Amino acid sequence: MNRIQAANRILNNEGPQRLLSETANLIVKVASKNSIVDDIALQATKELLSSRKGDENTPSDVIDTIYSFRGVGRYRTIRALQVRSEFEQLVDTVIEHDPDTVLEIGTAKGERCMLGHGF
C-alpha cells in the first residue's frame, strides 16, 4: 500500500483528525533524522520540562507532569505506560523509606526517568 492509499484509508476509517496526527508524526520522524532538528527538539523538550518544575509543589504535582508531559519531536513519545495507581504506590514507598538510591532496570518510554526530575 503506498502512502496515498494509506492516507485515504486513515481518512475514511478514522477521520481527518487522525490523518492530520499521522501526517504530523511522519513529518517529525523525517525531520528528526536531521541532527540540528533533533538538537533543537531535545533542547525544547528540556526547557518545557524545566518550566513545569516551578508549578510542582507536591509528589502528586510531579506525577501529574509525568502523566501529561509530551516532549518535542521524537521526544514526544516519552510518556507514562504504567498504571497510575501503581506508579503512585511506588512514589509513596520511595517517600516513606527515603532510600539513598533507587534503581530501575529498563525504561520503556521513560516515565520513571522523569520521576527524578521532581524529587
Provide the whole-model pTM.
0.56
CA atoms of 54 and 57, how far apart (whole Å) = 8
Three cell numbers, residue 111: 516515565
Residue 38, classed as helix, strand or coil, is helix
**What pLDDT, on a 0 to 100 scale, did the predictor assign at position 97?**
93
Which pLDDT tens digit goes with each residue over 85-102? 988 998 899 899 999 888
Which pLDDT tens digit goes with each residue over 47-86? 988 888 888 899 889 889 888 888 888 788 877 778 889 8
